[in-house]
A and B are shown apart, each in its own frame.
Chain A
C-alpha cells in the first residue's frame, strides 16, 4: 500500500541526502519525493510517498525520527487531505492532431504552456490518478518528454502538520 508522509526537516545542507540514504539502506521504497522550503526558510517540508505495510511504515517513521534534522513526521494517508502533482508533457503535434490534443487538454483542465511548430507542451496539476489518465490519453500522440514533480499534500480543514 502507498502511504503519504509529510516530513518537516531543518533546512540544513545534506538533509535530503540523509533522508534518501536512510530509505535506500533500510530497504524502503520511495514512490515519489517532493521537497521545498516552507514559510519559515529554516524549515523544509518533504512529501514522501512510500510503499509498504503498516509495520514497514512504523519503521520508516521511527527511523526518520532518529535523524537529528527531522523535526516532525505525519502519515496523512488515512486523513482527509488535498494532494496535487504537477506534470509537464511535451507531445508531438502536427496540423491534424493539434486540435485533438487541445481538446484532451481541455477535458483535463491542462494548460498549453508552449506552442511549437511541431510540438505542444501541456501543464496540468491534479491527483496522481488524474495525471496518470492525462498521460494515457496523450500516449497515442507520441510523448517526447514528460516530467512529474511528485506529490505534495496538505490536510483539509483546521488540521495542519506545520509547527504552528
Chain B
C-alpha cells in the first residue's frame, strides 16, 4: 500500500516503539504533524520553545535509557534545537531529531525559514541525513535509531524537505541496517582482559574511576561487583554518579574540580586506575601531569577515540563496559587491600565535604541535604548548571543509576526544567525533584507552561542567591572580586510565579522555614516551586584551582 513519507515516518517511529515525541510544529513539517494526528500510539508533547523540546527529549532519555525523539520545523525551529543536540552529544545521549526543511527545489536559495541544519549540526551529531529520495525514508529512520542507540550513543539529525514529506511511497520497514562503515566493538579483546586481571592482581592501591558509559551500558551492578571483589574505592564523574550507591562504603563520590578531597587524594595516590566509560575530561583531571601520577591506567571504553585522547593509558580495552567487566570478573580473585581501604576511610574522615551552618543565612547545602534525607535518596534529581548543580551532587547521594539528570559535558544552563519535564514524563510514577538556580531557571522557565499542561508533579527547588553564583565565585578567585555582570538588579518572586501556572509556591529564608515547607512540598500531589533565598556569598567547596593538580 502506498502512503506518504510523513505517514511512513510515523509508522517507522511506531515500529521503533516510540510512544512519545517532544516537539514544536511549523510550516515545513506540517505533513508530519498531520500524520501524527492519526496516530493512536504516539503522544506529542508540545513545549514552549524548540530548545525545551530537545532538552526534554534528552531528559527523557537520560531518565529511561530509551532513544528519545524531538522534532521541529525548519529554520529557527531547527536552530533552536541546536543547544539541546550539543548537550546530548557531549553526554552521549541517544536521540533522534527530526527537522522540517524547505522543499528540495528551494534548498540552497535562502528561502523563508531555510537553514542548512545538517551543516550547522555536523560537529555535534553522531550522524545526520538530509532526505532527498523519498524511498529512502524507512531505511534512514532504521539507520538513525540504530546509530543513535548502539556503540557510544548520540544524537542523529534527520532533515526532511517539505515536498518529500508528501510523496507517496511503498512502505516496508527494513529488518536490518546495512552500514559498512559502522560496526562498534562490544567484546573486549580477551588478551587485554587477561592483562587487566594481572594488573589488578598486582595492585595494592586500586581505584575505579567510573563515568556515564557505565550507566549507558547498564553496567552498574557489574561495576559494583568488581569494586567489592577487589575492594577498590570508586570515584565517579558527574555523569557517572549513581553507578555505585552513594552511601556505599566504597563510594567516594565525584572527583575533580569540585570533587571530594578524599576522592581526589585516592586518585592521586592510587597505583592502578581502572577507568570505565569515562573520558578524562579537564574538569576531572586538572593538571594532567599530576593526575594519578603513580598509577598504571586501564581504560575501558566503547569509543576507541577516547583512549589515549587526554591521558595515556597503559592498557586500553575497547568494548562495551558491561561486557568487558563481566569478562574481567571471571578472571579476577577477591582482594582485600586492607591498608589501602583504611587509608581511604581515614581521608574520608579527615576531609569530609562540609559547610558551615553557623551563619543566620540559609545554606544551599542544607537545602539539598534535607531534600536528600526527606526523599530517602529515592527521587530522580534534575539540575541546571552552576553552583546549585555542584551542591546538588555533593549533598544528594545517588543510590541508583539514572537518578541524576544533569548537563555534564556541555554545562548547559536552562537544561534543568525541560530536563525534569522529560524525566517525569519518562518515569511518571516516581518523584522527580528539580534543583535549579535563579540564573539557570530563568533561561527555560517558559517551560513551566509545559509542565502545567502535562500535570507533572515536579518539586522544584530554586537555590536563589540573586546572582550568577558560579561566575561570581570565579570572579572572586580569578578576577580580584571585580564582579561584572553577575548581580541581578531585578529579582522575581518565584513562589508567586508558581501560582500563575497553577502550582503551589513557597518562599524559604531560614532552616526553620525549610523544615516547615518540606512536608507541604512532598505530601501534596501537585507541582511546587520553592524559592530558597540562600546565603548570597556561599561558594562551592572544595575547589581545585585552575592549572593545579587535583591532589594539591
Q: Give A contacts to B, CB under 8 Å.
A: 9-10, 13-14, 17-18, 21, 25, 55, 58-59, 62-63, 65-72, 163
Contact = CB atoms under 8 A, between A and B. Distances in A.
Contacts of A18: 122
B181 A59 contact: no
B130 A68 contact: no
A12 B422 CA distance: 34
Nearest to B123: A25
B179 A68 contact: yes
Nearest to A58: B308
Contacts of A65: 304-305
A9 B181 contact: yes
A21 B126 contact: no
List the 10 shortest-distance A-B pairs measured between CB atoms, nearest first.
A62-B305, A71-B181, A68-B127, A68-B182, A70-B181, A71-B180, A62-B304, A25-B123, A63-B305, A21-B122
B305 A66 contact: yes
B447 interface: no
6 contacts: A13-B132, A18-B122, A59-B305, A68-B127, A68-B147, A70-B181
Contacts of B307: 62
Interface of B: 118-119, 122-123, 126-128, 130, 132, 147, 179-182, 303-305, 307-309
Contacts of A14: 118-119, 122, 128, 130
A161 B337 CA distance: 50
A67 B181 contact: yes
A17 B119 contact: yes
Nearest to B318: A62
Given A55-B308, A58-B308, 13 more contacts: A10-B181, A14-B118, A14-B119, A14-B130, A17-B119, A21-B122, A59-B309, A62-B304, A62-B307, A65-B305, A68-B147, A68-B182, A69-B181
B123 A68 contact: no
A89 to B, nearest CB: 35
Contacts, number: 43
Contacts of B309: 59
Contacts of B122: 14, 17-18, 21
Which one of A62, A66, A69, A70 has the greatest number of beta carbons of chain B within 10 Å? A66
A71 to B, nearest CB: 4
Nearest to A163: B180
A87 B180 CA distance: 34
A9 B127 CA distance: 14
A21 B123 CA distance: 7
B303 A66 contact: yes
A43 B118 CA distance: 21
Tell me which of A14, A58, A68, A70 has the highest count of chain B C-beta atoms within 10 A of its own C-beta.
A68
A126 B269 CA distance: 56
Contacts of B303: 66
Contacts of A13: 130, 132
Nearest to B182: A68
A163 B126 CA distance: 24
B231 to A, nearest CB: 34
Nearest to B132: A13
A113 B404 CA distance: 69
Contacts of B180: 10, 71, 163
B409 to A, nearest CB: 15
Nearest to A67: B181
B38 to A, nearest CB: 32
Contacts of A9: 181
Contacts of B308: 55, 58-59
Nearest to A60: B305
A53 B304 CA distance: 18
Nearest to B180: A71
Task: Kindly name the residue among B126, B127, B181, B305 whose own CB sees the greatest number of chain A CB atoms within 10 A.
Answer: B181
A162 to B, nearest CB: 12
Nearest to B181: A71
A63 B308 CA distance: 12
Nearest to B143: A68
A25 B123 CA distance: 8
A15 B126 CA distance: 13
Nearest to A43: B180
